[in-house]
Amino acid sequence: MLQPTHGAAGVLAAELVLLQYNVSLLSWEAAAGVLIGCVAGPLADIDKQGSIMAKIFFPVSALLRLLKIKHRTFTHSLAFLLVLGVLAIPMPPLYYWIFLAAYASHPLIDLFNEQGVRLLWPLKLKIRLLPRMIAVDTGSTAEMIFRWLLIAACVWLLLLDAGFAAFTF
Ligand SMILES: [Zn+2]
C-alpha cells in the first residue's frame, strides 16, 4: 500500500487507542497521539528504497539495505513488532500503545495486498488475506477506495467523540 494509506491507518489506530484511554480526540494529547500514529503507520516501509520513511530515517534505511533486508520482510514481521515493543518501553503508556498499534496497522493492511507480507520472518512464508483476484493492488482504485474508507472512519470517530449524536447508528 502507499504511504498516505498507511498514514490514514496509523491515524485510525491512534484514535482507537485514544478512545480506549478515554482521551478526547479534540485535546492536545490526542493531537500528539495522532501525529505519532501518522508517522508510525508508514514507518515499516523504511525497508523500501525511495519511500518517504526511508528518506527521513536515512541511516536506518541504509543499514537495512546493507544487511540486505528486503521489502515487506523484517520490518513487517511480528518479530520486529516485538523488538519495537521492548525498545519503546520508556514511552508513556498512552503513546506506547498508539505507537505500537499504528506500527502494527501497517503489516495488517499490507496483508490485503496481492504481494503478501512475510509476517513470520525469518520464515519464508508470505501471508496474504485475500485471493489474488480480489487483493488490493498498490496504487490501484481499490486502494484509493480503501484509503477513503479509512479516512471516513477517522472523521466518523472524531465527529462521534465531538458529540455529534446524529452520526451514531
Ligand atoms: Zn509496507
The closest of 53, 38, 148, 46 to 101, measured between CA atoms, is: 38
pTM exceeds 0.75, yes or no: yes
Distance from residue 60's CA to the centre of ligand 1 (Å): 16
Instruction: Tell me how far apart the alpha carbons of residues 83 and 51 are, in angstroms, rounded to a whole number.
Output: 22
The per-residue pLDDT for range 3-22, each reduced to its tens digit, is 999 999 999 999 999 999 99
The per-residue pLDDT for range 88-138, each reduced to its tens digit, is 999 999 999 999 999 999 999 999 988 889 999 989 889 988 888 888 888
Instruction: Tell me how far apart the alpha carbons of residues 109 and 105 are, in angstroms, rounded to a whole number.
Output: 6
Cell of 31: 493531537
Mean pLDDT, the chain, integer = 92
Residue 51 DSSP SS3: coil
- Confidence at 62, pLDDT banded by 50, 70, 90: very high
Spell out which residues have Cβ within 5 A of ligand 1, the ion. Answer: 45, 110
Instruction: Tell me how far apart the alpha carbons of residues 89 and 36 are, in angstroms, rounded to a whole number.
Output: 15
Distance from residue 157's CA to the centre of ligand 1 (Å): 25
Distance from residue 69's CA to the centre of ligand 1 (Å): 13
Residue-number span of the structural domain to which 93 is assigned: 3-167
Distance from residue 24's CA to the centre of ligand 1 (Å): 30
Is the bond preceding 93 in cis, omega lying within 30 degrees of 0?
no
Q: How many domains does the chain have?
A: 1
